């Protein structure tokens, strides 16, 4: 496929070659920002992360991101080594060091830290966590609606690796994405263990049928902050919205489909498994939700 794109595509920005990156309290130029090869995140994917966006000098939905981060840390029994105020201070220091006020995306990563020996046991991480914050100048530029392919990789049950955890290890999602690309699509649509449509490998998934907005029950997907905001916006604006089980049949026959995530907000879907979804273009309900979300961001960040 010659025109393959990703759901996290941004305009090229030469300033990103020169950014300063936060590594454990220090701000290092990008080419000097380093962590140990013994780090649990590198070696085992043992860590957690958040993706945040800065609008008008304010991190959107910061409380929600901090709630999710600290909840994930509890689940992993990972001591972040600082409180919420400390994490926010580090985020702010990073964006200020880069002179960023808008159109900025942060990836905030915390791992269990360097291990004394190259093995799995978490107790081998003995010198405290590693915290890295990458802030990039970032203006999303997704040139056309996204093509999806359904893949055999599933969103698993909570007792394996809970799909709600924003863990460093994303191998299940990466394998799904590779399978979708091989099938000529941009991103993968993943089903849950019962065969219902669940989520994509990197975003939450919605369909629109007869003016109503449907998304999965939420049981097997990332508890996306944008997902919740879209549900809340529907409820506040008289748009029928359902968190429910639905199948590929319902999806192929939908009038519109879109993805949600902090980076792309609401990204229209053109097709699934080679079938056009509705007109294959940005539809009226998605357009309306994009406008409502934009207004919400403006309210939250003034």
Ligand X SMILES: Cc1ncc(COP(=O)(O)O)c(C=O)c1O
Find the shortest distance in angstroms from Cβ 221 to ligand X. 6
Q: Is 41 in the site for ligand X (CB under 6 A)?
A: no
Find the shortest distance in angstroms from Cβ 140 to ligand X. 12
Find the shortest distance in angstroms from Cβ 32 to ligand X. 27
Q: Among 40, 104, 130, 166, which residue sits at the site for ligand X (rule: CB under 6 A)? A: 166
Looking from the CA of 129 toward its CB, the CA atoms found within 13 Å total: 21
Contacts of range 279-286, beta carbons closer than 8 Å, 24 or more positions apart: 280/145, 281/145, 282/145, 283/208, 283/255, 283/256, 284/256, 285/208, 285/211, 285/213, 285/239, 285/255, 285/256, 286/208, 286/256, 286/258
Q: Is 262 in the site for ligand X (CB under 6 A)?
A: yes
Q: Which is nearer to ligand X, 34 or 294 (CB)?
A: 294
Q: Pick from 190, 243, 236, 245: which is nearest to 213 by CA?
A: 243
On whether the CB atoms of residues 234 and 296 are closer than 8 A, the answer is no
Stretch of 14-22, 112-120, 179-187, 224-232 lying at the interface with ligand X (CB under 6 A): 224-232
Q: Among 202, 270, 289, 292, which residue sits at the site for ligand X (rule: CB under 6 A)? A: 202
Q: Among 23, 38, 51, 245, which residue sits at the site for ligand X (rule: CB under 6 A)? A: 51
On whether the CB atoms of residues 140 and 27 are closer than 8 A, the answer is no
- Number of residues binding to ligand X, judged by CB under 6 A: 15
Find the shortest distance in angstroms from Cβ 262 to ligand X. 3
Token pair in block for residue 88: 């926010």
Find the shortest distance in angstroms from Cβ 225 to ligand X. 4
Phi/psi for 174 (5° steps) reads -65, -40
Q: Is 173 in the site for ligand X (CB under 6 A)?
A: yes
Residues that bind ligand X (CB under 6 A): 51, 166, 173, 199, 202-204, 222, 224-227, 260-262
């Amino acid at each position: 496929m010659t025109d393959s794109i990703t759901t996290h595509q941004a305009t090229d920005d030469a300033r990103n070659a020169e950014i300063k990156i936060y590594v454990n309290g220090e701000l290092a130029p990008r080419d000097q920002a380093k962590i140990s090869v013994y780090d649990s995140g590198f070696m085992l994917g043992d860590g957690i992360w958040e993706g945040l966006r800065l609008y008008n000098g304010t991190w959107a939905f910061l409380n929600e991101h901090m709630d999710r981060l600290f909840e994930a840390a509890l689940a992993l029994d990972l001591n972040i080594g600082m409180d919420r105020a400390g994490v926010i201070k580090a985020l702010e220091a990073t964006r200020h060091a880069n002179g960023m006020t808008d159109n900025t995306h942060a990836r905030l990563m915390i791992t269990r830290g360097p291990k004394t020996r190259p093995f799995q046991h978490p107790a081998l991480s003995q010198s405290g966590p590693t915290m890295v914050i990458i802030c990039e100048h970032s203006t999303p530029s997704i040139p056309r609606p996204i093509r999806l392919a359904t893949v055999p990789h599933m969103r698993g049950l909570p007792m394996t690796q809970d799909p709600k955890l924003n863990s460093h290890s994303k191998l299940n999602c990466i394998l799904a994405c590779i399978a979708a690309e091989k099938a000529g699509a941009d991103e993968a649509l993943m089903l849950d263990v019962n065969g219902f449509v669940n989520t994509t490998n990197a975003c939450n998934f919605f369909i629109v049928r007869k003016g109503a907005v449907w998304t999965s029950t939420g049981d097997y997907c990332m508890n996306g902050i944008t997902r919740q905001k879209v549900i809340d916006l529907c409820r506040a604006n008289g748009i029928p919205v359902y968190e429910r089980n639905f199948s590929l049949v319902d999806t192929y026959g939908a009038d519109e489909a879109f993805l949600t995530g902090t980076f792309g907000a609401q990204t229209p879907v053109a097709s699934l498994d080679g079938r056009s979804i509705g007109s294959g273009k940005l539809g009226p309900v998605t357009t309306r939700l994009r406008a409502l979300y934009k207004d919400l961001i403006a309210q939250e960040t003034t």
